[in-house]
Every structure is written in structure tokens, then in C-alpha cells.
Amino acid sequence: EWVSATERPGGSLLTRQLQELWRRSRGSLAPQRLLFEVTSASVVSERSSKYVLYTIYLIRSGQFDKAPATIARRYSDFEQLNRRLRCRFSCDMANVAFPRKRLRRNFTAETIAKRSRAFEQFLSHLHSIDEIRRSPEFLEFFFLPDLQAAQRLTCTGLYREALATWANAYRLQDRLGVCNSGRFLLTLAGLAVCHQELDQLSEAHGCCEQALQLLEAQGSHPLLGPFLQAHVHLAWKVGKDKRQSEARLQDLREAGLPLQQQPSLKECLIKEPLE
């Protein structure tokens, strides 16, 4: 079960949950069935525009999450996803139904309820198609907005709010089975930076350890040096063993990597283009 970063008195629970999710993701060879449930829909008025915002939970079949992975999207977001996927996967999308735009009565309870069910079926159908489920268009529909928001919050120093957003991005990527991607490593970097800024050093150390295990077989990833340096610093702070990371750093030095010129994790996070 998950609790949000703002609900817990200490950070160790979040770290244990991150580690457990990561371990489960490594051991899972087949994608688990995901349920997409619209849990609420609210009418939003902004200046001269008005739209319905749908909140959707991503739930593993047969499991209960106290704080599940969530997204909030409007009709135009779904419409853009539908359009992009039809351009790239025209054959696969031929039998995928999408609710049509209405000229009126868009904000009635009946229309909102019908669209809610239609969006659930739309996402479930997409997720059932292998090529689409693995496509950047489908995946980034879910977690890219959270990554962008978390990056902005981190850059402006709102670390507690950023931490909750990075954590939701983590949950989304875990549910979607993409815990070995560059986006996921960036998410771990965001979690580590925010935990460190909030003086939750054990949690930051745990995030670095997860990242380094993912990077174990890589010798030239741009985040390897920053994660190693952060891990050594945090291990010294919390009294953990840092010898393996120090040895890997020495290997990088001997390979000619100018570690003194390497950016910090926070600098990597701020400079990473998320488009």
C-alpha cells in the first residue's frame, strides 16, 4: 500500500515501498492486467473556457492501493492521444472506439457518465494491444505531465509538493511496467533530490541505491556519475557502506571520465528537457 509523501511522519515507509515496487517490477516478466477507473469528473471553468476534468486511477487487477497511481485529464487530452495513435497504428486502432465530440450538452451528468465509461474502455483496449501499450505516445500520456510538473516544482524549490508529484510519477511508471527507462531514472533522481532537500537522507540514499542497481551493467550513462557521487555523499551522512560506489567512481576516473566536471543530480534534473 502507498501513502503520499505529505501524509507520513517519517520517510522510511516511502523508501520501503519504492524498493518493494522496484523489486516486483524486476521480477515480473509479463505485464499485469491494469484497470482504468474514472473515480471523479468535475466541471472546470477557466476564464472563457469550460471543460470536464476526469480523475482516473490505475489499479492492478485484484489488488488494493491506499494511494493508487492517478491522472487527471480532459477530453482534449484523450482526443490528442487518440489522434496520435491513429496516425502511427492505423491498423491496430481500427477497432478502438472513441467517444465523439458533442456540439452541446457536454456538461450534463448523463454525458459525463457515458464519457467516463467510454474513457475507461478506451484505455483498457489500448493497454491490451502490445505495440500500443509499449509506445511512447501511450506511456507518456500517463506520466509525462507529472514529470514536467515535478520538474517545475523542484526548480522553484517547492520540494514537498514536488516529492508527492515525483512519487505519483513513480507509481504510474511502475503500473505501466517501465521501471527500466531513462524517464524512470530521472524520477529516482527527482525523488533523491527532494528527499535530500527535505533532510530525509535515508530516503534519498535508498533512491540512489535503486538507481545504481538499475545502472549496474552500464558504464557510460549520463546519470551514473551523478548518482554515484550522491550515493557516496549520502552513505557517509547516514553511516552506510559506500565502498562499492567509491570503487565504481574510481573505475570511471581511470576510464578518463572528468568527474569534477560532472553535474550534480539536481543540475541534471533541472537541465533535462521534458517534452
143 vs 174: CA distance, rounded Å: 10
pLDDT digits (tens, 9 = 90+) for 221-268: 889 999 999 999 999 999 999 999 999 999 888 888 887 788 999 999
Co-location of 258 and 171 in the same domain: yes
User: Could you give the number of structural domains in the chain?
Assistant: 2
Q: Range of 109's domain?
A: 34-134
Same domain, 113 and 154: no
Domain end (from 99, 134, 169): 134
Mark whether 80 and 113 lie in a shared domain: yes
| Any domain includes 14 | no
- 159-169 pLDDT tens trace: 999 999 999 99
Angle, helices 182-197 vs 224-238, to 10°: value is 30
What is the model's pLDDT at position 12?
47
Residue 7 falls inside a structural domain: no
Whether 25 is covered by a domain: the verdict is no
Residues 154 and 265 reside in one and the same domain: yes
pLDDT at 231: 97
CA–CA separation, 147 vs 270, rounded Å? 11
Looking at the fold, whether 98 and 167 belong to one and the same domain comes out as no
Which cell numbers in the block locate residue 192?
A: 533523491
What is the distance between the alpha carbons of residues 12 and 128, in angstroms, rounded to a whole number? 35
Residue 61 placed within a domain = yes
Task: Identify the pLDDT of residue 27.
Answer: 44
Q: Is the pLDDT of residue 24 over 70?
A: no
Supply the CATH number for residue 40's domain: 3.30.1520.10
Residue 185: inside a domain: yes
Residue 204 located in a structural domain: yes
Q: Are residues 167 and 220 in the same domain?
A: yes
Q: What is the CATH number of the domain that holds 239?
A: 1.25.40.10
pLDDT grade for 5, boundaries at 50, 70 and 90: very low
Q: Which of 92, 110, 134 delimits the end of a domain?
A: 134
Residue 89 has pLDDT above 90, yes or no: yes
Please report the pLDDT score of residue 219 as a whole number.
64
Residues 6 or more apart in contact with residue 222 via CB below 8 angstroms: 268
